[in-house]
Homo-oligomer: A and B are copies of this chain.
Amino acid sequence: MSAPIAHGGGITAAAAVFGGRPEEWLDLSTGINPCPVALPEIPARAWHRLPDRHLVDEARCAARDYYGCGEILPLPVPGTQSVIQLLPRLVARSRGVAVTDNRIAVVSPTYGEYARAFAAAGFAVDAVGDIAAIGAEHRLAVVVNPNNPDGRAWPAEVLIALHDRVKSQNGLLVVDEAFGDADPALSLAASAGELSNLVIFRSFGKFFGLAGLRLGFAIARGDILERFEEWLGPWSVSGPALSLADSLLRQDVSAIRRRINERSAGLHSVLTGAGLRIAGGTALFTLVADEKAGDIYTHLCRHHILVRKFDYAPDWLRFGLTPDPAADRRLDEALQRF
Contact = CB atoms under 8 A, between A and B. Distances in A.
A113 to B, nearest CB: 7
Interface in A36-95: 36, 39, 44-54, 78-79, 81-82, 84-85
The oligomer's copy count stands at: 2
Nearest to A226: B1
Interface residues of A, number: 57
A189 B13 CA distance: 30
A300 to B, nearest CB: 18
A96 interface: no
Nearest to A33: B48
Contacts of A12: 52-54
B79 A210 contact: no
Interface stretch (A166-174, A231-239, A267-275): A231-239
A295 to B, nearest CB: 26
Given A120-B230, A234-B4, A235-B214, A209 B78 contact: no
Interface in A209-234: 209-214, 227, 230-234
Contact of A48 (B11, B50, B212): B212
Given A81-B235, A232-B85, A234-B7, A211 B50 contact: yes
Contacts of A280: none
19 contacts: A1-B227, A4-B234, A9-B50, A9-B51, A10-B52, A11-B52, A13-B53, A22-B52, A27-B49, A30-B49, A48-B209, A78-B78, A81-B233, A82-B232, A82-B236, A120-B230, A212-B239, A214-B235, A238-B238
